[in-house]
Amino acid sequence: MDYSSKENRKSLFQLINILESSSRIKNASSSASVRKALGSVRVTEEQSRVPRSFGMDTIFESIEEANLYDPIEQEKKQEQVPEPEPEPKSKPETKPKSVIQGTKTRCTFPYSILFSTFLYCGEASSALYIASIYHTSNQNNWMVYTMVFFLIASIMDQLTLIFVHRDLTKDKPLLLLMHLILLGPVVRCLEAMFKYYEMRQNSEEDEPYVSLIRKRMFINDQEVLLEWEMSHSQRVLSMHRNAYKRMSQIQAFLGSVPQLTYQLYVTSISTEMPIERVVLMAFALISVTYGATLCNMLAIQIKYDDYKFHLHICDIICVTIWRSLEITSRLLILVLFVATLKSRALPFLIINYVIILFEPWVRFWRSGAQMPNNIEKNFSYVGTLVVLASITILYSAISFSCWPAMQLRLDDRELVEKSQNWNHMAVHYFVRLVENIIMVLVFRSLGTKILLDYCHTFIALQLILAYVISIVFMLLFYQYLHPLRSLFPRNVIDYLHCVCCPWASRVRSENLESTFETQLRQSIV
């Protein structure tokens, strides 16, 4: 009886457990459907439920089986339920990462303007004084040539400043009067100094008119885009600097070079050496060297207008040595050649200068291009022609005495060739070296009555050696010291290797081809 009652109790408990388990399953399924409607389904460690697409739950016996099934169902769920689109947000305007915001441009003292004015006044006063000495000593020819070279350069200086500042369209009669009496550079210098001190006093105040300037620059051998602000006063002062740079070039090659050459000629044929002539030649030599150095700087600015660069002290010293040796040796050779042949040397010099003068125009006529009309908006055809003729005269004067640092191209819109033309440079220095050797040989063989107390052979060797050393400094500058030499497609060594050793480059290319063929055959085998 007891045994049977126990079995009945056991069977009764089993029946109760079965009923409770079925109720649990129903409750779990109903709660899972509620959770599915709410969008949150949780998997427990005891029984893992994953909602199906048709609204029923599947019960797994283990967590691993649920994890295997879960990614498939989640992908289906993501396909059915679209993600809500994010609200559009106003993106702040940001500058590109390559643009570096520079600091405000500092107000620097205009040393170049003051130095150019000093050279102008010093050369003018010394030329007038030595002309008066020539007049008192009845040397009228010397006086006339000295005054002519001074007046040509001074008039061209006034026209340059008027053209750059566009004073003909402005109501400034007093300023034009100062230019007429050849005191325009002095007045412009005082105006620039006044503008500088005015900027110093108002440096803490922000000007209403500010312009943004963007230039490329190399920082740690990486090209970046630099942006900075420039006020109206700084732009006016920069215009003064650019005008005086052009004026210094014209003063150097249209005034100082002829003046220095003529005074050296007078010294070679006369027995006296007054201190006034020494002062005039010193001012002329400094002016020519400074103008030739500016040729390099302006050439870099024109060719690489989109870049900002800085010349270090080593670069300036190298360019100064290069230009001083080149111009001094060239002018001394010309003086000795003219002193040897007298009037017989004029045809050689005139033909040489005429070839340089008309070479850009011959290239322009052969190209069939039209006359450039972008020099100035208010210029007529005649005005444009006059400006181009003036530029050509200045270019030929520079090229006659030294390397102009850029090639004049009248068929180009920019009037200059912006690419680095190694061929033009090589032809220029080769022709000038041959000319110098010919003139030195003429002086060595025929100049027996000149410089009697000196050895002509030693002087000839020194002059040729000085010119060759100047070429070496030129190559050194373009190879190692040029501020934008990384933009050159080929440097000096590559050009010399291609020109002087074409067979070596050809052999190297053949060796590379043979090496490639052998490697290809080995790889195939």
Q: What is the mean pLDDT of residues 292-320?
A: 87
Which residue has better confidence, 93 or 479?
A: 479
Query: Is residue 66 over pLDDT 90?
Result: no
Q: Give residue 232's pLDDT.
A: 78
Cβ atoms 217, 308 nearer than 8 A: yes
Q: Give residue 49's pLDDT.
A: 42
Measured over the CA atoms of residue 399, residue 404, residue 406 and residue 408, the dihedral's sign is negative
Q: What is the mean pLDDT of residues 328-356?
A: 91
Angle at 467 between CA 321 and CA 317, to 5 degrees: 10
pLDDT digits over 18-48, tens only?
A: 555 555 444 444 444 444 444 443 444 444 4
Q: Give residue 423's pLDDT.
A: 85
pLDDT-derived band at 454, boundaries 50, 70, 90: confident
Q: Give residue 113's pLDDT.
A: 93
pLDDT-derived band at 332, boundaries 50, 70, 90: very high
For the chain, the C-alpha Rg in angstroms (whole number) is 42
The one-letter code for the residue type at 220 is: N
CA 496 to chain CA centroid, Å, is 24
Q: Give residue 76's pLDDT.
A: 45
Q: What is the mean pLDDT of residues 336-344?
A: 89
The one-letter code for the residue type at 238 is: S
pTM over 0.95: no
pLDDT-derived band at 521, boundaries 50, 70, 90: low
Q: In the predicted model, what is the mean pLDDT of the chain?
A: 76
Q: Give residue 38's pLDDT.
A: 41
Judged by average pLDDT, the poorest of 69-78, 317-326, 468-477 is 69-78
* Secondary structure (3-state) at 428: helix
Query: Is residue 474 over pLDDT 60?
Result: yes
Give 39-72 as a DSSP string.
T-----SS-EEEE-TTS-EEEESSHHHHHHHHHH
Q: Give residue 93's pLDDT.
A: 40
Question: What angle, rounded to 10 degrees, do the helices at 111-136 and 184-201 form?
Answer: 160
Query: Is residue 503 over pLDDT 60?
Result: no
Judged by average pLDDT, the poorest of 24-28, 158-162, 225-229, 423-427 is 24-28
Judged by average pLDDT, the poorest of 61-70, 251-260, 320-329, 430-439 is 61-70
pLDDT digits over 161-218, tens only?
A: 988 887 777 778 888 899 999 999 999 999 999 988 888 887 667 666 667 777 777 7
Query: Is residue 433 over pLDDT 60?
Result: yes
Which residue has better confidence, 155 or 22?
A: 155
Measured over the CA atoms of residue 478, residue 484, residue 488 and residue 494, the dihedral's sign is positive
* Secondary structure (3-state) at 186: helix
Q: Give residue 523's pLDDT.
A: 54
CA 120 to chain CA centroid, Å, is 28
Top mean-pLDDT range of 214-223, 297-306, 410-419, 510-519: 297-306
Q: What is the mean pLDDT of residues 292-319?
A: 87
Q: Give residue 118's pLDDT.
A: 95
pLDDT-derived band at 102, boundaries 50, 70, 90: low
Cβ atoms 291, 252 nearer than 8 A: yes
Q: Domain-by-domain residue ranges, the chain?
A: 100-342+433-499
pLDDT-derived band at 99, boundaries 50, 70, 90: low
Q: Give residue 87's pLDDT.
A: 44
pLDDT digits over 369-419, tens only?
A: 777 665 665 566 677 788 888 889 999 999 998 988 888 888 777 788 877
Query: Is residue 499 over pLDDT 60?
Result: yes
Rounded (10°) CA dihedral 384, 386, 389, 395: -80
Which residue has better confidence, 28 or 54?
A: 28
Query: Is residue 96 over pLDDT 50?
Result: no
Query: Is residue 122 over pLDDT 80?
Result: yes
